[in-house]
Structure 1
Amino acid sequence: MFKFYDSESTEILDNSQFVQLLKMKWKEIHDTTNVFRYKILNSQERIVDGKYLLQLNPNRQSKRRFPEQINDICQPFDKNKFNFTKVSKEEILFTFKESAAEDIHAVLVNISPISEFHSLFCPFVNKCLPQVINKDTVRLAINIMLLTQDRELRIGFNSLCAFASVNHLHCHFFIEKNCLPVENVKCKKLKGVLHCFEEGLPVPAFCFEILQNSQKLEEIFTLLNYFLEKSIAHNIFITKGDAIEATGEVIRFIVWPRKSSFGAKQLVAFNVAVCELSGWFPIYNSEDFHNLNTESLETELKNWKIPNFEDLCEELKFLF
């Protein structure tokens, strides 16, 4: 399905070794170079009420690149601002392309990582597309999840006005051993293949169940395209999780519509982007790390809940 290449354009490994390749290359750069703005060493974590994962990462607040000013969900790409064609060669973990295609997709280290192995997936990197989701990126992300059996891999996407930091098309690759609340929350059918979370999590979301022979690409992009047309900010999380209508473990494609955030990303105790919505909180200072509880976490999450979710559900039923 994919062909992977190192920095010298030499073909490496096969599809089944995707996660192993990412981990190996990331560790090599992390441990032997000064590419990262800070190291991920001896990270502290705690589980709040058996539900929410907190990880202490003070360096991400003080040492990361300052986020870009974002004012529109479809803001055009600006070649004069930072983008992923400007990264150093040392930041490239590997590149890959589909067997019969010429488009190059890059996997880069995130030099200000949330956690160990946190990387950036930059599809069609040389086309300099803005941070606006498209159908081919959705297809690539789903295929990557389908080719690996590794339970720890997650893929995240923050739209513009949903705490994306860079206006150049990219997703996040996360490797996390802990189970997250969105992976086993009960879901109910809205219409057709469109589901939403039942009560239990503070921010409602839509969910699709992905199987090897049922990828639902058209239906997923019907939803995402609606959000783009209506300028609804959104976050996407792709993960292994409990089946909704099938049996066993499936891929959950989760989409949160949410209130927009304008301007540059704020650096407070935590920002509500895709990780936080999934139940995973990178925390910037020790006091908050030890003192935050379920009530305070959920109060901040609810601040970003779209106010008309029930009305939105009724509108979407006409599309499915």
Structure 2
Amino acid sequence: MALQPGSEDISYLLPPNGEHWEGRAIPDFTYGQQELVVEGIQWPQSAASALDTWALSRFDSVLRSAWSQRVELGLFRYRLGELQTRSLPGALGLVAQLNVERGVQRRCPQHMRSVRQPFDPEQFNFNKIQPGEILFRLRREPRVPRALQQEDVLVVINVSPLEWGHVLLVPEPARGLPQRLLPGALRAGVEAVLLSTHPGFRVGFNSLGGLASVNHLHLHGYYLAHRLPVEGAPSVPLGPGGLLHLLQTLPAPGFLFYTSGPGPDLDALVSRVCRATDYLTDHEIAHNLFVTRGTPPGKTSPSSALTGVRVILWARKSSFGIKEAEAFNVALCELAGHLPIKTSEAFSSLTETAAVALIQDSLLPPAQAHEVQAALVALLEQEEQ
């Protein structure tokens, strides 16, 4: 059964109880290009706004209703209440949130040995989740070019959520794809951001060695009702072609890609980002990626309007084995300025200086970072010729 564009009936997503999930058809969320919203998205005057107050899109309404129902059915490891949140004093606008339950109750991450580690069907993977954890299948009509297409992107709850509405985008789980970014997966993530009319819906990817906890291809998506530094941070172009920019603002310099919306511009972004992540993976360099609405690249941010989508890519030190920092571990959201904190003590005492030091400790040494930057610029400009 599919929910077509323009339909408001989402009752098919909400079975009356959780007793008969086995054998139930996975509903389709089918959308067209007309639902990819580019114009008119910006933050209100207040620093934050509750999800309830937004004029939500069809995508938001479906995800919200299905996610809330799974909460009532007890399918999460803990019940996520309203998280204590504060902006750390300082120039960066880092957002700290206390989430003790995620730090204690999340599934133990798998042991990784390599950024290129093959998929292991004996380890936990998304073919082993409960059927009720699947919300719907994300489907694009008309079909995109085959090279950029994933036929079966499941939207699944993260049973250990870091924020409200935390889901996983899992492309073609039956294929057993390892945690290596593919063009169709990235396209689904960018279009999910464009399907939401909430400026705080973000998508991200952790590579192996970049704190991915499951070696089965997936992206994260979640709502955070707060601005983040990466949305409008200034940047400079790298190389004469301007195909790649470098965010210069702390907490972490990152490679910036930008698209003004669907069409050839989005196609080009997907291709460039995946060429860059392929290079990093092939050279055993861990990385994190963050997708958010934001302003065009440049040295200044001309307005508060979020006129397109920013994709930020960070190359970082590999982290294999289970390593738990006292305040927070550094992955996709921390690099973007969202800091889920694991203890009350750390939440109350953390400073911007300490947070930045912890984040920067995860980055590549300057000499290696410069080598990676030069290699990516040369790679992208060579392939664009």
Partner of 1:194: 244
State how far apart, in whole Å, the 2-side matches of 1:20 and 1:221 are. Answer: 30
- Indicate yes or no: 2:291 matched with 1:238: yes
Partner of 1:205: 254
Q: CA deviation at 1:238?
A: 0.4
Q: Which amino acid aligns with 1:296?
A: A
Partner of 1:315: 375
Native 8 Å contact 1:68 1:265 kept in 2: no
**Structure 1 residues 220 and 112, CA, compared in 2 at 3 Å: closer, same or farther?**
same
Partner of 2:345: 287
Partner of 2:364: 306
Q: CA deviation at 1:146?
A: 3.1
Partner of 2:336: 278
Partner of 2:50: none
Which of 44, 53, 59 is 1:18 aligned to?
Answer: 59
Q: CA deviation at 1:55?
A: 0.6
- Indicate yes or no: 2:337 matched with 1:297: no
User: What SS does the corresponding residue of 2:186 show, helix, strand or coil?
Assistant: helix
Partner of 1:29: 70
Which of 81, 101, 105 is 1:63 aligned to?
Answer: 105
Q: CA deviation at 1:157?
A: 0.4
User: What SS does the corresponding residue of 1:86 show, helix, strand or coil?
Assistant: coil
Native 8 Å contact 2:31 2:140 kept in 1: no
Partner of 2:188: 140
- Indicate yes or no: 2:128 matched with 1:86: yes
**Aligned 1:210-221 pairs, distance under 5 A:** 210-212=259-261, 213=263, 214-215=265-266, 216-221=269-274
State how far apart, in whole Å, the 1-side matches of 2:179 and 2:323 are. Answer: 15
Native 8 Å contact 1:165 1:265 kept in 2: no
Partner of 1:266: 324
Native 8 Å contact 1:204 1:309 kept in 2: no
User: What SS does the corresponding residue of 1:299 show, helix, strand or coil?
Assistant: helix
- Indicate yes or no: 2:166 matched with 1:118: yes
Query: How many pairs align?
Result: 317
State how far apart, in whole Å, the 1-side matches of 2:151 and 2:349 are. Answer: 47
Q: Which amino acid aligns with 2:184?
A: D
Deviations 1:242-266 (A, max 9, x none): 2115975220010000000012353
Greater shift after overlay, 49-58 or 7-16?
Answer: 7-16
Greater shift after overlay, 100-109 or 272-281?
Answer: 100-109
Q: Which amino acid aligns with 1:201?
A: L
Aligned-residue identity in percent: 33
State how far apart, in whole Å, the 1-side matches of 2:176 and 2:198 are. Answer: 30
State how far apart, in whole Å, the 1-side matches of 2:310 and 2:150 are. Answer: 29
**Structure 1 residues 8 and 316, CA, compared in 2 at 3 Å: closer, same or farther?**
closer
Native 8 Å contact 2:252 2:360 kept in 1: yes
State how far apart, in whole Å, the 1-side matches of 2:184 and 2:232 are. Answer: 27
Native 8 Å contact 1:232 1:257 kept in 2: yes
Q: CA deviation at 1:65?
A: 0.9
Partner of 1:8: 25
State how far apart, in whole Å, the 1-side matches of 2:133 and 2:80 are. Answer: 16
Deviations 1:291-319 (A, max 9, x none): 00011101101111111222322222322
**Structure 1 residues 265 and 165, CA, compared in 2 at 3 Å: closer, same or farther?**
farther
State how far apart, in whole Å, the 2-side matches of 1:73 and 1:292 are. Answer: 31
**Structure 1 residues 219 and 57, CA, compared in 2 at 3 Å: closer, same or farther?**
same
**Structure 1 residues 10 and 173, CA, compared in 2 at 3 Å: closer, same or farther?**
closer
State how far apart, in whole Å, the 1-side matches of 2:117 and 2:324 are. Answer: 19
**Structure 1 residues 102 and 134, CA, compared in 2 at 3 Å: closer, same or farther?**
closer
State how far apart, in whole Å, the 1-side matches of 2:150 and 2:344 are. Answer: 47
Structure 2 unaligned blocks of 5 or more: 5-11, 14-23, 36-57, 144-148
Output the TM-score relative to the length of structure 2.
Answer: 0.77
**Aligned 1:143-158 pairs, distance under 5 A:** 143-158=191-206
Output the TM-score relative to the length of structure 1.
Answer: 0.92
State how far apart, in whole Å, the 1-side matches of 2:26 and 2:373 are. Answer: 47
Deviations 1:203-251 (A, max 9, x none): 2110011122411222222211111121110000000012115975220
**Structure 1 residues 71 and 41, CA, compared in 2 at 3 Å: closer, same or farther?**
same
Structure 1 unaligned blocks of 5 or more: none
RMSD of aligned alpha carbons: 2.2
State how far apart, in whole Å, the 2-side matches of 1:313 and 1:3 are. Answer: 44
| Greater radius of gyration (CA) | 2
Q: Which amino acid aligns with 1:203?
A: A
User: What SS does the corresponding residue of 2:329 show, helix, strand or coil?
Assistant: coil
Q: Which amino acid aligns with 2:63?
A: L
State how far apart, in whole Å, the 1-side matches of 2:138 and 2:247 are. Answer: 34
Q: Which amino acid aligns with 2:281?
A: L
